[in-house]
Chains A and B, each alone.
Chain A
């Protein structure tokens, strides 16, 4: 057993899952926004990066890692809510390309602003958990405390989001507002508030992804979420944009594909993993792997 856990196959599985959950979080955050406001938020990764900078530079004041995580997420949520209110709200009812253009512009602005404030030098966050692999009778098992931390944190957030949407009054109102805004208003639901809350939740999930990414070996720099965003975006598209489960599965799939391509082919082509999966998925099921085909309408 221990030989199997130490095999390079399992190394790739663990590594792929660890990176995949980060993609899944980004994909999930994109799906939440897409479902509620039909906006593809191209600045999602950059907004999360910015929030992480605000929170994580607090570590210099010696307040400890966990406080920095909480500050990052809080700032991310605030930024999400403000973005919806200020940048996106005036664009409802306009062509779908308008918010895309605005958010691509916003992406550039945030990254430039981050570089201006904090410089573009990589900052390493003091790791909350060791990145050193566990040993089992002298054999390496390719799991580190940090990998366990990132997988558990990501899965925990996904479960919390799922439970919130599925079981709470707020979740029911969020779903109804996304599915049938006019009917929801007729029932007295404050739909515009629900749209803002959707952006707040989404940006919070994105911030967690950025925190995990920055806490790892790559560190924090103004463009650190660009590649992650692309992979998360592809994951969301593969899952069908409407499906939270599809987004999570898509993220894992891309994480694993990249890892295996990196191991068995070349690190240079690893980012192609996502693209290959996207092309194949679009050929097999253009509507997304996890989207239900429109059902019977009486």
Chain B
């Protein structure tokens, strides 16, 4: 479980997060929704220690994460798939995957076999440079690279960005299955509220840095005002 308490972040004079509090329960998907500039990416980057908050705390179970270096947060089991996926194009698929496991005490060859079983296309392309992969393949690789470290938490930043609708649907199914089979705490940042709410258990809606709603995904999905004003979903 990730507990975010009263988290505020400023970039100079710009306040990107204003006292955000919520919990992302273990074994569930928490969707983080909101328009461009709502503070979704900043929230994930602060959890990972890439951004230092001006106030507030983040904790993984009882372990405070605030103030720890990014690499140490990763080593505690927080897998972060950044916006744009962050696959290293100059390395091969397999090198990218290995990189995910290097900082953890795991059997890398077994980990590779696991991920190739889960994403067979990555196995077929293992010797290829990542610059040659399609957007969907890159997203799979980025997730597999996070999963190989056997994380407890998976932070996904706009995984559907730039993907075709069918690919997005497939990806959302994969995220849902992963969450169940690995008992992961998933935090799913999406602009595509509709797809995210389909698989999420809980949802947090950010607007200009503040959490304007949080609760059951079904409740958020049913709230016409939220959908109309913050999620850009057309209400029939």
Contact B86 A188, beta carbon cutoff 8 Å: no
Q: From residue 189 to 218 of chain A, which have CB atoms closer than 8 A to chain B?
A: 189-191
Task: Tell me whether B102 is interfacial, beta carbon within 8 Å.
Answer: yes
Contact A297 B74, beta carbon cutoff 8 Å: no
CA distance A173 to B149 in the complex (A): 15
Contact A188 B82, beta carbon cutoff 8 Å: no
Contact A186 B98, beta carbon cutoff 8 Å: no
Residue on A nearest B74 in the bound complex, by CB = A188
Task: Tell me whether B100 is interfacial, beta carbon within 8 Å.
Answer: yes
Contacts of B48 in A (CB 8 A): 186
Contacts of A295 in B (CB 8 A): 89, 131
Contacts of A189 in B (CB 8 A): 71, 99, 102-103
Contact A298 B86, beta carbon cutoff 8 Å: no
Task: Tell me whether A162 is interfacial, beta carbon within 8 Å.
Answer: no
CA distance A190 to B73 in the complex (A): 11
A182 and B50 contact, Cβ closer than 8 Å, known pairs A169-B102, A176-B99, A189-B71: yes
Q: From residue 71 to 97 of chain B, which have CB atoms closer than 8 A to chain A?
A: 71-72, 74-75, 80, 82, 86, 88-91, 95
Contacts of B88 in A (CB 8 A): 176, 179-180, 183
A180 and B71 contact, Cβ closer than 8 Å, known pairs A172-B99, A173-B102, A297-B131: no
Contacts of A179 in B (CB 8 A): 88, 90-91
Contacts of B168 in A (CB 8 A): none
Contact A184 B82, beta carbon cutoff 8 Å: no
Contact B131 A296, beta carbon cutoff 8 Å: yes
Contacts of B103 in A (CB 8 A): 187-190
CA distance A213 to B91 in the complex (A): 36
Contact B98 A187, beta carbon cutoff 8 Å: no
Contacts of A297 in B (CB 8 A): 89, 131
Task: Tell me whether B123 is interfacial, beta carbon within 8 Å.
Answer: no
Residue on B nearest A296 in the bound complex, by CB = B131
Contact A188 B71, beta carbon cutoff 8 Å: yes
Residue on A nearest B87 in the bound complex, by CB = A183
A186 and B91 contact, Cβ closer than 8 Å, known pairs A191-B71, A296-B131, A297-B131: no
Instruction: Please pick, from A187, A191, A298, the residue contacting B100 in the complex, using a CB distance under 8 A.
Output: A187
Q: What is the 8 Å Cβ interface bit string for chain A, positions 115-134, against chain B (1 contact, 0 not)?
A: 00000000000000000000
Q: A182-B82, A188-B102 are in contact. List 5 more A-B contacts (CB 8 A).
A: A172-B99, A173-B102, A186-B80, A187-B99, A188-B103
Residue on A nearest B142 in the bound complex, by CB = A183
Task: Tell me whether B18 is interfacial, beta carbon within 8 Å.
Answer: no
CA distance A190 to B75 in the complex (A): 10
Task: Tell me whether A285 is interfacial, beta carbon within 8 Å.
Answer: no
CA distance A176 to B90 in the complex (A): 9
B103 to A: closest C-beta gap in Å: 3
A186 and B86 contact, Cβ closer than 8 Å, known pairs A297-B131, A298-B134: yes
Task: Tell me whether B145 is interfacial, beta carbon within 8 Å.
Answer: yes
A188 and B75 contact, Cβ closer than 8 Å, known pairs A176-B88, A179-B91, A295-B131: yes
Count of interface residues, chain B, beta-carbon cutoff 8 Å: 30
A145 to B: closest C-beta gap in Å: 41
Task: Tell me whether B135 is interfacial, beta carbon within 8 Å.
Answer: yes
A172 and B71 contact, Cβ closer than 8 Å, known pairs A180-B86, A182-B50, A188-B149: no
CA distance A164 to B206 in the complex (A): 47
B14 to A: closest C-beta gap in Å: 20
CA distance A185 to B95 in the complex (A): 16
CA distance A175 to B91 in the complex (A): 9
Q: From residue 103 to 145 of chain B, which have CB atoms closer than 8 A to chain A?
A: 103-104, 131, 133-135, 138, 145
Contacts of B50 in A (CB 8 A): 182, 185-186
Residue on B nearest A193 in the bound complex, by CB = B71
Contact B135 A187, beta carbon cutoff 8 Å: no
A186 and B149 contact, Cβ closer than 8 Å, known pairs A176-B99, A179-B91, A297-B131: no
CA distance A187 to B80 in the complex (A): 8
CA distance A188 to B149 in the complex (A): 9
Residue on B nearest A186 in the bound complex, by CB = B80
10 pairs of residues in contact across A and B, judged by CB atoms under 8 Å: A172-B99, A176-B91, A176-B95, A179-B88, A180-B86, A180-B88, A182-B82, A187-B149, A188-B71, A188-B103
Instruction: Please pick, from B74, B90, B104, B131, the residue contacting A185 in the complex, using a CB distance under 8 A.
Output: B74
Residue on A nearest B104 in the bound complex, by CB = A188
Contact B71 A185, beta carbon cutoff 8 Å: yes
Residue on A nearest B69 in the bound complex, by CB = A185
Contact A185 B98, beta carbon cutoff 8 Å: no
Residue on B nearest A190 in the bound complex, by CB = B71
Contacts of B72 in A (CB 8 A): 188
A96 to B: closest C-beta gap in Å: 22
B28 to A: closest C-beta gap in Å: 22
Task: Tell me whether B26 is interfacial, beta carbon within 8 Å.
Answer: no
Contacts of A191 in B (CB 8 A): 71
Q: From residue 81 to 99 of chain A, which have CB atoms closer than 8 A to chain B?
A: none
Of A172, A188, A189, A297, most B-chain CB atoms within 10 Å: A188
